[in-house]
Amino acid sequence: MKATYDSDGDRVTVTEDARQQLYDASGYGEPLDGDAVALMPVEAAYLLRKGKLEDVDGDGYSGFLRHAVEDEAVLRVYADLRDRGYYLSVSDDEELYLYARGDHPANSSPETRVEAVDEDAAVEIGKLPSLLAVADDDGDVTYFSVEEEKPDGGYTPLDADVSVVAEEHGRGVGVSDSDALREARYGSTVGDDGEDAGDETLLLSPVEAAYLAKSGVLDPPDTDVDVDARRLAVYTDLRDRGVCPRTGFKFGADFRVYETPDDEHAALLVSAVEQDVRPSVVEVSRAVRLAHGVRKRMVFALVGDEKVEYVAVERERP
């Protein structure tokens, strides 16, 4: 098959029965008039590497790659998914679109866009498609599923008449022990000697104290606690959704989250971040790996001006 590259149109045109061999049989490119097919440079580079094209205007794989493929991470992800048996299409700006396994581009639409990046990249979590693919420096590709999370649980709000006396206690606030607070998993109970005593003082963390003060539960309500506004926004939203957030420090997150009062183990780890934050994919991978290692789901809470949105990220095996 004869292949020529139009650098202005950024397309490789393949003739000589290309439609049947490339598009009809394997879903590469877009069919043109007659038997020709137009390939994106990423597709052409992959076909050169696999030996399905001999050359493009005399260039082999390495030569064509140097002057026609801008983002090698996209090519590596494309190649990995193709080698796994998936059909993909490539947009003009080299975005990858993945079809459900077995679906041919001729008679179906893509299932999702794939965000293909290298290991040095930073990503905006709130704008990721449902599949993130990271091509690392060893030549491997790691995949992460990305989906909206809607925390919802069985914790009921405190009764309106619940009120407790508050006193400053280190970083947090100590309150008279309350069955209502204890049942809702607020605080930890300590005795006068600092040992676990079970029936004297309930020690609230700063974020718990700030939330309860705002809810009118603490007396006096203006108890002085220093709380990060972003963490307080997420804590408040989670409590309002009927789940119980507790510190996630041991797991490298802001909160571990219990969904019902019967749960012995938290189901989620939640990190509070600004809505437009761009963490490195190394940070994302680290958080996901740690959450998986303790059998929890990693969730990023995106704090905006008016609401909190939740995005769950997990390892995916296509």
Cβ–Cβ < 8 Å for 56, 3: yes
**From the CA atom positions of the chain, what is the Rg in Å?**
27
d(CA 19, CA 316): 33
Cβ–Cβ < 8 Å for 287, 267: no
Q: Which residues are catalytic?
A: 258, 265, 296
d(CA 16, CA 101): 29
Helix 41-50, helix 72-83: angle, nearest 10: 60
In the 8-state DSSP scheme, what is residue 98?
E
Please state the length of the chain. 318
Largest alpha-carbon pair distance within the chain? 87
SS3 label, residue 214:
helix
The count of other CB atoms within 10 Å of the CB of residue 82 is 18
The string over 147-172, giving b where at least 16 C-beta atoms fall within 10 Å of a residue's C-beta and e elsewhere, is eebebebebeebeeebbbebeebeeb
Half-sphere exposure in the Cβ direction for 55 (13 Å, CA): 5
Task: Write the DSSP assignment of 37-78 as a string of letters.
Answer: EEE-HHHHHHHHHHTSS--BTTB-HHHHHHHH-S-HHHHHHH
